[in-house]
Amino acid sequence: MRSRGSWKIRILIGLAIVAFAYFNKCSNTETNPYTGREQHITMEPQEEIAIGLQSAPEMAQQHGGLYPDQRMQALVDAVGKKLVQNSVARETPYQYDFHLLADDQTINAFALPGGQCFITYALFSQLNEAQLAGVLGHEIGHVIGRHSAERIADSQYWQQVSMGASVGADAGSIIGAIGQNTLLKNGRGDELESDELGVLMMIQSGYDPYEMIEVMKILKSAAGPNRVPEFQSTHPDPENRIERIKEAIEKYQGA
Ligand SMILES: [Zn+2]
């Protein structure tokens, strides 16, 4: 009888934890003022900025540090700045920094929460200025879309749910830390939203948005028959993105 009783209590506590997690999730749902999309966020913009600034040196280190030629870095800065100043990014509280990484092997670009954006030399060296704007616009899109903060909130939610479940089931321990994977892992929806925001920023800054399609082709050919670039592992198939990019161009340019 005693063990049966504690079993019931565990189930109740487990359910209470899950219910609390769900309540939290609902009460932390807000509309992103820059994208208009409803999302589950538990973090203030200042915390996003702090996480990004704290992680930036480590991310640079993992890609061979910063690219030594300041003229190239200056071009990345100029294009990034232009995109911010001509778009809704200007109105956000984020601090945008655009880092050119020395890595000349890995085709990649990524953003940390709060405005720290990165592009490897391997990708940079294949792009013209408008295409660079497309890549940086896409990364700014991740920042504005608050995609990392959303992933962190999701992982906190699932940690709480799994805690509730494991208390209820009295099974195992809860392993979960907010790691690099959570920060950099973007869902398919995140990528498409960033592509669309990137296209809009290109148009607003006077760049030809069709160059974003060229970026996708470059990524596709960089993959080659045997080589899957890093960008691919965190980004969906370029071919699928091209269709959506065309739709975005018509939506924003036709208006
Ligand atoms: Zn992306």
pLDDT per residue as tens digits for the range 159-202: 777 777 777 665 444 334 444 455 556 677 889 999 999 999 99
Q: Give the closest residue to 143 by CA, choosing from 75, 190, 187, 182.
A: 190
pLDDT in tens, 8-38: 888 888 888 888 888 888 878 899 999 999 9
- Give yes or no for a contact between 170 and 11, defined as CB atoms under 8 angstroms apart: no
Give the other-Cβ count within 10 Å of 42's Cβ: 16
Q: How far is the CA of 192 from the centre of ligand 1 (A)?
A: 8
Question: Higher model confidence: residue 1 or residue 42?
Answer: 42
Q: How far is the CA of 140 from the centre of ligand 1 (A)?
A: 9
For ligand 1, a single-atom ion, the residues with CB < 5 A are 191, 194
Q: How far is the CA of 180 from the centre of ligand 1 (A)?
A: 15
- Give yes or no for a contact between 68 and 87, defined as CB atoms under 8 angstroms apart: no
pLDDT score for 19: 84
Q: What is the pTM of this model?
A: 0.83
